[in-house]
Chains A and B, each alone.
Chain A
Amino acid sequence: MSAWRWGKRIGRWGSFLGFTAPALLLILFFIILPALQTIALSFTDREGAFVGLRNFAQVLSDPDTFNLTGFPPGPPPWGSIVHNAVWILLHLPLTVGLGLILAVLLDRARGATFLKSIIFLGMVTPMIVGGVIIRFLFDENAGVVTAILRAVGLTELGRSWTAYPETALPALILGSVWLWVGFSMILYSAGLATIPRDYYEAAAVDGAGPLQQFWYITIPSLRPVTMVIVAMTVLWELKIFDIVYTATLGGPGGATMVLALQMYFYAFRALEFHRAATVATLLTLFTLIVGLWFVRTTRSSE
């Protein structure tokens, strides 16, 4: 290889490093190193001695993490991992489904921008405030939801939802659907705008009804958007903290404990940083699985 080519290659690498080094250094010192330190901490005890997987065994055997003794039909607590899983199982389909329905219904409707703005308000509300609002929405004395339920004769559900173990988790999940649905609706609205109208016109000429158009044109065309929404929503559900912190603090009786809150309690109430690091490592592992799935699915669809 000629010296000229070598010089060109070195120059190219030099520019690449010159432009990326500031960002890479920041990522290295503020993200990668602390993450590695956290992972290392999860394998040590209070004194910093290596203990292998002992912390993981202790955390996973803690009833706050995993407790299936009362699993359905019994009410929570079922442990933070199960609560996070329930959150994903209920919140994800509701958010994705409602977001899609709202986006389709409000597509080209009169006053759609105004209605979308109102629905999107939940997303711009700080989640800490969102938690307080959820608490009051489902409060016996001040709640709108409980007042409506009492008005339609469901008096048993007219009490404070966050006070009872069987209703506290559903209250938080339903409240978080309200907070998060604006996100999926806006993304679906943007996705709908990219579908060529010709598809629908051609389908109509061929005799396809609105439902068939929705099923065979809208849903497949929105697949990339759906993947983004699913990935982002699952990641948000895994690291959910602020809503639970302000609405119930994980109670009553641990019925709404989630992994991120458990990590917080280990670190800042029990001052057991190695256990907090263990939960953080578990959370990282779970989010990594979702992230890898997302990357692989995106690549394969490309």
Chain B
Amino acid sequence: MKRIGFALVVLMLAVSACVPAATPTPERIVETRVIERTVPVEKTVEVTKVIPTLTVIGPWAGAEMDQFLPVLKAAEQKLGVQIRYRIYRAEDLSQVLPPQFEAKQAPGDVIFMWDWWIQKNKDHAVDLTDLWQKEASQFVLQPSTVDGRVYAVPYVLFVKPGFWYKKSFFQKHNLKPPTTWEEFLALLDQISKVPGIKKAIISGDGVGWPLSDIVEHFLITFGGPELQENLIAGKVRFTDPQVRAIFAERLVPLLGKYFSDPVEWTQAVDLWWNEEYGLFFMGNWLTGMVKDPNDLGVFTLPGARGVVGGTDWAFIPKYSENVEAAKQLVAFLISKEGMEIRARQGGKLASRKDISPDVYPPADRALAEALAKIERPNVPDLDDTVGGDWQRLFWDQLKLLWVRPQALDSVLRTLDARFPTR
């Protein structure tokens, strides 16, 4: 008897499982109609809307992050999404992303990374060609492409405009920005004689990139933007007499005498601002890192026809769970509206042509106006463009050169021998 009862229960459960749960019975439909016709009440329909949470990964921390977060806040309001920001340097991402991608995972929905790295890993990136084409004509930079397809889009512009100085320091010691190489050398001598000054120029260091920026500025000034581009393309070698001459005659003689030993670059900002050093070569993000940006002045090496300008590249991993929302976010970031919000914070310049200089804070506005007079304000960054392990080697060899100027030929030979196209 028990068995029969158990079998019946199982049968009933099986039958009930076969009936689609969502199918309403005809009686219920009739009843609903009656209620809707006779009782005209205001009904509140509850719709469960899933708000996607996007994770944006970028290299900016501290003041730079504070300048970027308002853009994400605006995007949250405009797109109706939630956004988390996580800090990862490109150096660290290069370690984190490959195993994640192999496992078809992505730590973020929008990631800022080196463009050479994205190109090498384009199989893991979403094709952004359609998104880019809507905005392409407004940009001063080209996107990161492989075989004509866009895999990463440029964000705001950073430039490495030259040597920064404190206007008040220059006024106090009757110093003037140089207009010739001789005036530059004279200025270095004058600064060196100021009481309390350790060296005329503080050399920023980190993993070595600030030194590479200085070297590139010398190469562009004395060899023209073409030299930098030819070095990147591998058409000119580091052992080329022209390159060696720039190092040997312009840079190396200044190293021991006027440049300090490499100092961790964020520490260097404070030491320079405290007037232990007179000049500091750094990118324009410096405007967001000092107490009074209005006291900032900057000059290029006399005769420079171009300066390095670059950007951070945004891409969307294929394994993002919110590819469409991520695309909307990227579109917002590079839109006029999104770019204006970022430009207003300072520390970076817009990479769009349709952003008025009026949106910038005063220090950045002055820089934008000064750059407008430079023939090539966006010469590609040498080490960022070449990338790979050579980039690290370049930084490391320059750190050696800074303290061992007599190792110049060995440094140039090493850079040449290990260049990717050799």
Complex interface: chain A residues within 8 A of B395 (CB): 249, 251
Chain A to chain B contacts (Cβ below 8 Å), 9 pairs: A139-B264, A163-B261, A165-B400, A249-B207, A252-B403, A268-B94, A268-B95, A268-B98, A271-B120
CB distance from B20 to the nearest CB of A (A): 43
Residue in B267, B271, B396 whose CB lies within 8 Å of A254: B396
B223 within 8 A of A: no
A175 within 8 A of B: no
Complex interface: chain B residues within 8 A of A165 (CB): 400, 403-404
A270 within 8 A of B: yes
Q: Which residue of chain A is the closest to B93 with respect to CB atoms?
A: A268
Given contacts A165-B403, A268-B98, A271-B388, contact A160 B261 (CB under 8 A): yes
Tell whether, in the assembled complex, residue B396 and residue A141 are in contact, meaning their CB atoms are under 8 Å apart.
no
Q: Which of A279-294 contact B (CB under 8 A)?
A: none
Q: How far is the CA of A271 from the CA of B390 in the complex (A)?
A: 12
Contact size range, A: 20 to 34
Tell whether, in the assembled complex, residue B397 and residue A253 are in contact, meaning their CB atoms are under 8 Å apart.
yes
Complex interface: chain A residues within 8 A of B411 (CB): 253
Given contacts A142-B267, A270-B388, A270-B389, contact A253 B399 (CB under 8 A): yes
CB distance from B393 to the nearest CB of A (A): 8
Number of interface residues of B (CB under 8 A): 27
A-contact bits for B399-422, CB 8 A (1 contact / 0 none) = 110111001000100000000000
Q: Which residue of chain A is the closest to B387 with respect to CB atoms?
A: A269
A250 within 8 A of B: yes
Give B contacts to A, CB under 8 Å. 94-95, 98, 120, 205, 207-208, 261-264, 267, 271, 388-389, 391-392, 395-397, 399-400, 402-404, 407, 411
Q: How far is the CA of A37 from the CA of B261 in the complex (A)?
A: 44
A140 within 8 A of B: yes
Complex interface: chain B residues within 8 A of A83 (CB): none
Q: Which residue of chain B is the closest to A159 with respect to CB atoms?
A: B261
Complex interface: chain B residues within 8 A of A249 (CB): 207-208, 392, 395-396
Tell whether, in the assembled complex, residue B403 and residue A269 are in contact, meaning their CB atoms are under 8 Å apart.
no
3 closest A-B pairs (Cβ-Cβ)? A253-B400, A252-B399, A270-B389
Complex interface: chain B residues within 8 A of A254 (CB): 396
Q: Which residue of chain B is the closest to A132 with respect to CB atoms?
A: B264
A164 within 8 A of B: yes
Tell whether, in the assembled complex, residue A265 and residue B392 are in contact, meaning their CB atoms are under 8 Å apart.
yes
Tell whether, in the assembled complex, residue A251 and residue B261 are in contact, meaning their CB atoms are under 8 Å apart.
no
Q: Which of A241-287 contact B (CB under 8 A)?
A: 249-255, 264-266, 268-271
B-contact bits for A122-159, CB 8 A (1 contact / 0 none) = 00000000000001000111100000000000000001
Q: How far is the CA of A141 from the CA of B94 in the complex (A)?
A: 32
Tell whether, in the assembled complex, residue A269 and residue B399 are in contact, meaning their CB atoms are under 8 Å apart.
no
Q: How far is the CA of A139 from the CA of B208 in the complex (A)?
A: 16
Q: How far is the CA of A142 from the CA of B261 in the complex (A)?
A: 14
Complex interface: chain A residues within 8 A of B95 (CB): 264, 268
Q: Which residue of chain A is the closest to B263 with respect to CB atoms?
A: A141
Tell whether, in the assembled complex, residue A164 and residue B403 are in contact, meaning their CB atoms are under 8 Å apart.
yes
Q: How far is the CA of A264 from the CA of B169 in the complex (A)?
A: 44
Majority-rule SS of B interface residues: helix
Q: How far is the CA of A209 from the CA of B403 in the complex (A)?
A: 52
Q: How far is the CA of A275 from the CA of B403 in the complex (A)?
A: 31
How many A-B residue contacts, CB cutoff 8 Å?
A: 65
Q: How far is the CA of A268 from the CA of B271 in the complex (A)?
A: 34
Tell whether, in the assembled complex, residue B396 and residue A251 are in contact, meaning their CB atoms are under 8 Å apart.
yes
Tell whether, in the assembled complex, residue B388 and residue A251 are in contact, meaning their CB atoms are under 8 Å apart.
no
Q: How far is the CA of A249 from the CA of B395 in the complex (A)?
A: 10
CB distance from A262 to the nearest CB of B (A): 10
Complex interface: chain A residues within 8 A of B396 (CB): 249-254
Tell whether, in the assembled complex, residue A269 and residue B267 are in contact, meaning their CB atoms are under 8 Å apart.
no
Chain A CB within 10 A, most for which of B208, B262, B389, B399: B399
Complex interface: chain B residues within 8 A of A164 (CB): 403
Q: How far is the CA of A165 from the CA of B396 in the complex (A)?
A: 11
Tell whether, in the assembled complex, residue B261 and residue A140 are in contact, meaning their CB atoms are under 8 Å apart.
yes
Q: Which residue of chain A is the closest to B407 with respect to CB atoms?
A: A253
Q: How far is the CA of A13 from the CA of B98 in the complex (A)?
A: 42
Tell whether, in the assembled complex, residue B400 and residue A252 are in contact, meaning their CB atoms are under 8 Å apart.
yes
Complex interface: chain B residues within 8 A of A252 (CB): 396, 399-400, 402-403
Q: How far is the CA of A270 from the CA of B419 in the complex (A)?
A: 12
Q: How far is the CA of A249 from the CA of B209 in the complex (A)?
A: 12
CB distance from A15 to the nearest CB of B (A): 36
CB distance from A107 to the nearest CB of B (A): 41
Tell whether, in the assembled complex, residue A269 and residue B94 are in contact, meaning their CB atoms are under 8 Å apart.
yes
CB distance from B394 to the nearest CB of A (A): 11
Q: How far is the CA of A266 from the CA of B262 in the complex (A)?
A: 26
Q: Which residue of chain A is the closest to B393 with respect to CB atoms?
A: A254
Tell whether, in the assembled complex, residue B263 and residue A160 are in contact, meaning their CB atoms are under 8 Å apart.
yes
Complex interface: chain A residues within 8 A of B98 (CB): 268, 271
Tell whether, in the assembled complex, residue A265 and residue B264 are in contact, meaning their CB atoms are under 8 Å apart.
no
Complex interface: chain B residues within 8 A of A160 (CB): 261-263
Complex interface: chain B residues within 8 A of A163 (CB): 205, 261-262, 399, 402-403
Complex interface: chain B residues within 8 A of A269 (CB): 94, 388-389, 391-392
Complex interface: chain B residues within 8 A of A159 (CB): 261
Q: How far is the CA of A168 from the CA of B407 in the complex (A)?
A: 17
Tell whether, in the assembled complex, residue A141 and residue B271 are in contact, meaning their CB atoms are under 8 Å apart.
yes
Tell whether, in the assembled complex, residue A141 and residue B389 are in contact, meaning their CB atoms are under 8 Å apart.
no
CB distance from B205 to the nearest CB of A (A): 8
Further pairs besides A163-B399, A270-B389, A271-B388: 18, Cβ < 8 Å: A142-B267, A160-B262, A249-B207, A249-B395, A251-B208, A251-B395, A251-B396, A251-B399, A251-B400, A252-B399, A253-B396, A253-B399, A253-B400, A253-B404, A264-B95, A268-B95, A269-B94, A270-B388
B-contact bits for A171-211, CB 8 A (1 contact / 0 none) = 00000000000000000000000000000000000000000
Q: How far is the CA of A247 from the CA of B355 in the complex (A)?
A: 41
Tell whether, in the assembled complex, residue B400 and residue A265 are in contact, meaning their CB atoms are under 8 Å apart.
no
Q: How far is the CA of A98 from the CA of B125 in the complex (A)?
A: 53
CB distance from A172 to the nearest CB of B (A): 15
Q: How far is the CA of A254 from the CA of B389 in the complex (A)?
A: 13
Complex interface: chain B residues within 8 A of A142 (CB): 267
Q: How far is the CA of A271 from the CA of B264 in the complex (A)?
A: 28
Complex interface: chain A residues within 8 A of B392 (CB): 249, 265, 269
Q: Which residue of chain B is the closest to A272 with respect to CB atoms?
A: B389
Q: Which residue of chain A is the closest to B411 with respect to CB atoms?
A: A253
Q: How far is the CA of A160 from the CA of B271 in the complex (A)?
A: 15
CB distance from B272 to the nearest CB of A (A): 12
Q: How far is the CA of A255 from the CA of B263 in the complex (A)?
A: 18
Q: How far is the CA of A269 from the CA of B399 in the complex (A)?
A: 19
